[in-house]
A and B are shown apart, each in its own frame.
Chain A
Amino acid sequence: MTALAVALSLVLSQGYAPQRQGLDPLEAEKEARVMRLGKQLRCAVCQGVSIADSPASMARAQLDKVRELVAEGKSDEQINAYFIERYGEWVLLEPTKGGLNAVLWVGPLALLGVGLLVIVLQSRRRPAALVTAPAEAAPAPSPDDALLAQVRADLEK
C-alpha cells in the first residue's frame, strides 16, 4: 500500500522514470543481506521509506550500490559508513546510539527518573507540612472556648 502511494506520488509529481535494468540479484544469502541493509537506509526522495521498500528510481540506484558493495565483500559497518559519508546519519532510519544521539535514547529514561525523584521529594515533604501547618495556624484561645468546654462537661454528666 505504501509502495503504491509512493509510486503514485512520484508519477504525479515529476513524471515517470523508466524501469531500467538493475543489477542482477545476488545469491540468496547475500541478497537477503542486501535487503536487510536496504531496510535500514532511508530513501532520499520518499517520506520515511527505506530504499528496499521504495520503488523510486533513486532508491533503486542506492539499493544497487548496496548490492555492489555486498558483492565486493564489504562488511555491514563499511556499507553503512559509505552511505553516512555521502548522506550523513540522516540516511539511517534508526539513528546510532552513540554520541549526541545517546540523548535521544537516554533522555526519556532520564526524564522519567527526574520525575520520580520529584515525586519522592514532594511526598516526603508533604506530611511534615500538613502536621506543622495546623499547629502554626491554630487560633488563639478565645473566651468562647471556655464556654464550649463547660457545655461539653455538662453534657457528659
Chain B
Amino acid sequence: MTRVLGPVIALSVIGLLVFVLAKGFGSDPHAVPFMLSGKKATNFKIKRLDTDEDVTLEQFKGQPVVINFWATWCGPCKMEHPVLEDAWRRYERQVVFLGIVFEDTEANTKRFLAENGHTFPQLFDPKSTVPVDYGVSGVPETYFITRDGVIKGKVAAPFSDPRQLDPLIGGILQ
C-alpha cells in the first residue's frame, strides 16, 4: 500500500503544479475579462457635443447600436477615427453609431472633431461613469449592442480597416 502511495502522491503534486503553471502561463494576466457579454446594456443619458441634446441608449431601442469609447489624447483613437467614419457610411441605414468621449475636456474634443470632421453623434461624459458601467478598461473600446439592447461583442483595440467591423456588425444585425 505504502509502495503505491508515494508515486501517487508525487504524480498528483506534479500534475497539480503542471496544471497551475500551464493555466498561469497560458493566459495574459493583464487581459480584462469581457463579463458583460450577453447582458443587457446599461442605459445612459449624456450630452451630444454638437447639439447639446441629451442622448439615451433607450431612444435607440429596436436598432442595433455600436458604441465607441475614446478620447482625444489617445493616439490609436485618432487613427481609428476615419475608419469608424467609413464604417458608419457603409452601415448608416442599418446601425446606430455613437461615440462616447470620457476623461477628456469638451474643448479638446470639439477642436478635434472640427479639425477632423465627424458624421455620427459624439457624446461627452464629463463624469466618466458610462465607461465604468460598461466595464471599459481603456481607450479605444467598441461595443456591439443588439436590437434588444444586449451587449453581443466588444473590441478592446483600435480598428485599422472598416472591414474588421463587418462580422461584428453582422452579428448584431440578425
A: residues with CB less than 8 A from B are 14-18, 20-21, 23, 44-45, 47, 57-58, 60-62, 64-65, 68, 84-88, 90, 107, 111, 114, 117-118, 121, 125
Contacts and interface: CB of A to CB of B under 8 A. Distances in A.
Contact of B103 (A20, A87, A107): A20
B80 interface: no
A141 to B, nearest CB: 33
A14 B129 contact: no
22 contacts: A14-B74, A14-B76, A15-B73, A18-B73, A18-B104, A18-B105, A21-B126, A44-B138, A45-B137, A45-B138, A60-B103, A61-B129, A61-B132, A64-B128, A65-B129, A65-B132, A84-B35, A86-B35, A87-B137, A88-B35, A107-B16, A118-B9
B137 A58 contact: yes
Nearest to B130: A61
B16 A86 contact: no
A21 to B, nearest CB: 8
Interface in B63-103: 71, 73-76, 102-103
A85 B39 CA distance: 10
Nearest to B136: A58
B6 interface: yes
A45 B141 CA distance: 13
Q: Is the interface of B mostly helix, strand, loop or mixed?
A: loop
Nearest to A23: B127
Contacts of B30: 47
Contacts of B2: 121, 125
Nearest to A122: B6
Given A14-B76, A86-B133, A114-B13, 9 more contacts: A14-B74, A20-B128, A45-B138, A87-B35, A88-B32, A88-B33, A88-B35, A121-B5, A125-B2
A8 B70 CA distance: 21
B113 interface: no
A17 B71 contact: yes
B36 interface: yes
